[in-house]
Amino acid sequence: MLKLFSLRDRVALVTGASRGLGWAMAQALADAGARVVLNGRDEATLQARRAEIEAAGGLADVAAFDVRDRAAGDAAIDAIVARHGRLDILINNAAFGVPRDFFDISDDDWRVSMDVLLDACFRLSRKAAAGMVAQGWGRIVMISSVNARIGRATNTPYITAKAGLEGLTRGMAAELAPHGVTVNCIAPGYMATDINTAFRAEPGRYEWIRNRTPMKRWGAAEDLMGAALFLSSPASAYMTGQVMVVDGGMTVVI
């Protein structure tokens, strides 16, 4: 039965993998046997993470590029295929947040949010999916958020982009399913990672989220490891176009 979760001989690209959710998911895929290509913008940090995976007995590579740069993303995927012969799994995880009131959001704030959280996922998925279709197997995993379905003040660009990402998932899933490629989402709840350090630093907000969650805690990056492995593995072969919510129960209670 464990063979269903094996990623031996698979090659995976995880964006935003130098820290937080991306790093945890990259470790999960490496532990399952995949060669994991770590993406981020800082080469030195990625190389240090690569060394950690290799020290634990895993296989890793790095691809340092800004996901907003289409040419760099295309070139990175071409390089991965040239170096390793294939790309089987793409996890679109790179994140960005602009915690500002609605009337204080500039056009540039909005554009960067859409470019990182939605447009880059479309471009990288389109590029990766071409090779996956050709080989007849692939897994694309989008990292959405509970904020795709529930709102919060000062978070409008993020909410909008994540809702669009779930629509992109459904559209891609419908088109790619006949070719052996699945496309699914993970929607995390509020996770204790670097991206929301300032939010968590305010005791009132921290406790508000904790008490709003039936499990009475914020999520940890490690809480996504199982979901990421499942959606990247043969175990999820008959599942596509779906959103797996990992939120400690937050969105099922009033």
Q: Which domains, and CATH codes, for the chain?
A: 2-245 (3.40.50.720)
- Torsion of the alpha carbons at 76, 82, 86 and 88, rounded to the nearest 10: -10
* pLDDT tens digits, 1-44: 689 999 999 999 999 999 999 999 999 999 999 999 999 999 99
Q: How many CA atoms lie within 13 A of 205 on its CB side?
A: 12
Q: Which residues are catalytic, by number?
A: 158
* CA distance linking residue 25 with residue 13, whole number of Å: 11
Q: Which whole number is the average pLDDT over 199-219?
A: 93
DSSP H helical ranges for 66-190: 70-84, 107-114, 120-135, 156-176
User: Global pTM?
Assistant: 0.97
What are the residues whose beta carbons fall under 8 Å from the beta carbon of 49, sequence distance 6 or more? 17, 18, 23, 26, 38, 60, 62
State how beta strands 181-188 and 89-92 pair.
unpaired
Query: By mean pLDDT, which of 171-185, 192-206, 215-229 is the weakest?
Result: 192-206
- Kindly tell me the number of DSSP H helices and DSSP E strands found in the chain: 9, 7
